[in-house]
Amino acid sequence: MVPEVVLLPKGPVRDHAVLVEDGRFHTVGPARQLTRAHPGLHPVRLERHLLMPGFVDAHTHLVQSFGKARTFGQPSEIFKTIWEPLEHALDEESAYLSAKLTALQALRGGFTTLADAGSRAPVDSSVLARATEEAGIRCVLSRVVSDGKGGPEHLHRWDGHRLVHPSLAVPVPEDATDRVLKRTADLCAEAKAPFQIHLNEHLASVERSLKSVDRRPLAHLHHVGALGPHTLAAHATLLTPDEMRMLADTGAAVSYNPVASAWKGNAVAQATTMAAWRIRFGLGTDSTRGDGFRLLDAAESAQRLTSGLATGDSSCGTGRLWVSAATAGGADAVGLGARTGEIAEGKAADYLLVDLDVPELTPTFDLDWELVRLAGKDQLTAVVVDGRLRLWKGRPAGWDADALVRRVTEVAPEVFRRAGIDRVTPRGL
């Protein structure tokens, strides 16, 4: 392929081409050099198109797609009032439908990889794996092991799978004993898989931890020896300077989830400070909305509103910082940095073709910043995962999205009836 622009790790370049073989980028380099080296191949020229890495969602919940619109206006700790009842009410079909709907929304938003943070649904993880595999998206699939059971089996269940990558999760530190937290972290370190856990997400969770163990959640995880390069801390919005140092010293990664902060949080993660401290971080949706371009915009905007305006920081990083966090940074955070996240030789061919021939990007001067602030998912011509076309102009390749949506419409009301969710409605509204 010879697109007009290729987004490489160093930034956007022109007059470059890529050769894809067996689901990977075989060669990436100057177009003239590649066409001379492969005279038997007919170059596919993609005028006015950008070839860029697919977005990586560093934190989502596959089985929460039915309920996201029920969280609006609710108090912050909705996992107790909405998510736990909803997930417990799922059966095999509804869990499968929810996961596949999440995958479809993600593909339509330019994501090629999802990191699922684990589920309380009473179904086998193979149900969720089947849904994401059929949709054609790469998935870091977690199993919740708060009871200390099933970790080794899950970590080896997907050996050699092209799209499903195992992970273990404990939703919050208080869900497990110190021994289970340490054992789970050690298992993930040994398997080179991420250990996913929600840390310092809400003020209530921080105070609950202080009352129960005399330590804040992140500090407690560090105390028991479960904070390390294998750890993926979701949210991390309320960090003391000491906790920031713990992340930097241990090499732990963070999923910065700006839309979740806006919709249901107490605070915004200090992402620009993390960047300055060289703390690894990616961007996550927390199952709010599957739109990679809006996530980029939210990530930068949240930093502007919470720190940039007060300090006169007019850039809050750079366009490259946010694009990298949404692609290579996210891949690194979820344990797939060696496999995806970049247009680079040997990496998986997980990429987007973005139409540049639109008024919003005319004229174009700084494509990194323009992707953050001006681009939209309506510009996605194609989404490719593992070298295979998965989405063409908003429609999935090889399966019926309309049938999925119709079935979800039929099934979701019954799931909510079983869940018995009691939403808060403030008086006077």
User: Quick one: pLDDT at residue 100?
Assistant: 98
Q: Does 16 fall in a domain?
A: yes
Residue 426: band (very low, low, confident or very high) from pLDDT cuts 50, 70, 90: low
Number of domains the chain contains: 2
Neighbouring CB atoms inside 10 A of 389's CB total 14
From 212, 217, 263, 214, select the one nearest 238 (Cα to Cα). Answer: 217
**Residue 178 covered by a domain:** yes
CATH number of the domain within which 28 lies? 2.30.40.10
415: its two tokens = 């799931």
Contacts of 196 (CB under 8 A, 6+ apart): 59, 115, 117, 118, 142, 167, 168, 169, 170, 232, 234
Is it the case that residue 421 has pLDDT exceeding 90? no
CATH number where 259 lies: 3.20.20.140
Strands (E), 315-377: 351-355
Cα 320 to chain center, whole Å? 18
> φ, ψ for residue 96 (rounded to 5)?
-60, -45
> SS3 of 40, please?
coil
Is residue 308 included in any domain, yes or no?
yes
- pLDDT at position 398: 93
Confidence of residue 369 (pLDDT cuts 50, 70, 90): very high
Whether residues 229 and 294 fall in one domain: yes
Residue 388: predicted pLDDT: 98
Considering the domain boundaries, does residue 429 fall inside one? no
Same domain, 270 and 292: yes
**350 & 329 share domain:** no
Cis preceding-peptide flag for 363 (omega within 30 of 0): yes
pLDDT for 425 equals 72
Q: What's CA 143's distance to the chain center, in Å?
A: 16
Contacts of 310 (CB under 8 A, 6+ apart): none
pLDDT at position 416: 87
Is 338 part of any domain? no
Question: Are 262 and 295 in contact, with CB atoms under 8 Å apart?
Answer: no
pLDDT confidence tier of residue 242, bands split at 50, 70 and 90: very high
Residues 64 and 145 in one domain: yes
pTM: 0.96
* Secondary structure (DSSP) of 180-248: HHHHHHHHHHHHT--EEEEES-SHHHHHHHHHHHSS-HHHHHHHTT--STTEEEEE--S--HHHHHHHH
| Same-domain pairing of 201 and 312 | yes
Q: Give the span between the Cα atoms of 31 and 2, in whole angstroms.
A: 7
- Cα 379 from Cα 364, distance rounded (Å): 15
- 171 and 76 share one domain: yes
pLDDT score of 36 more than 60: yes
**Mean pLDDT score across all residues of the chain:** 94
Residues 149 and 119 in one domain: yes
Question: Is residue 429 predicted with pLDDT exceeding 60?
Answer: no
User: Both 296 and 369 in a single domain?
Assistant: no
Decide if pLDDT at 134 tops 60.
yes
Over range 143-170, report the average pLDDT: 96
Q: Which of 308, 333, 358 is the last residue of a domain?
A: 333
Q: Based on the domain organization, do 36 and 161 belong to the same domain?
A: no
Binned at pLDDT 50, 70 and 90, residue 311 comes out as: very high
One domain for residues 47 and 67: no
For 381, which DSSP code? E
Same domain flag for 113 and 11: no
Q: Is residue 419, in this structure, part of any structural domain at all?
A: no
- Token reading at 259: 């839309």
**Residue 288: per-residue pLDDT:** 93
Could you tell me which of 331, 287, 283, 288 has the C-alpha nearest to residue 303?
A: 283
Number of Cα atoms under 13 Å in the Cβ half of residue 130 = 11
Assigned token pair, 76:
């912050």
User: Could you report how far apart the first and last alpha carbons of the chain are, in Å?
Assistant: 55
User: How far, in Å, CA of 307 to CA of 286, rounded?
Assistant: 22
The helix (H) or strand (E) run that includes residue 13 is strand 11-14
Contacts 24+ apart (CB under 8 A), 242-248: 243/200, 243/216, 243/218, 243/219, 244/270, 244/273, 244/274, 244/277, 244/279, 245/277, 246/218, 246/219, 246/222, 247/218, 247/274, 247/277, 247/279, 248/277, 248/278, 248/279
Domain-located, residue 425: no
The answer to whether position 72 is within a domain reads: yes
Residue 427: its pLDDT value, please? Answer: 64
What does the longest C-alpha to C-alpha distance in the chain come to?
A: 72
Dihedral angle computed from the Cα positions of residues 387, 47, 6 and 34, in that order, rounded to the nearest 10 degrees = 70
Same domain membership, residue 91 and residue 17: no
Q: What is the pLDDT of residues 160-207, one digit of tens each?
A: 999 999 999 999 999 999 999 999 999 999 999 999 999 999 998 999
> What percentage of the chain has pLDDT greater than the value 70?
98
Among 80-84, 210-214, 287-291, 373-377, the range scoring the smallest mean pLDDT is: 80-84
Q: Which domain holds residue 82?
A: 55-333
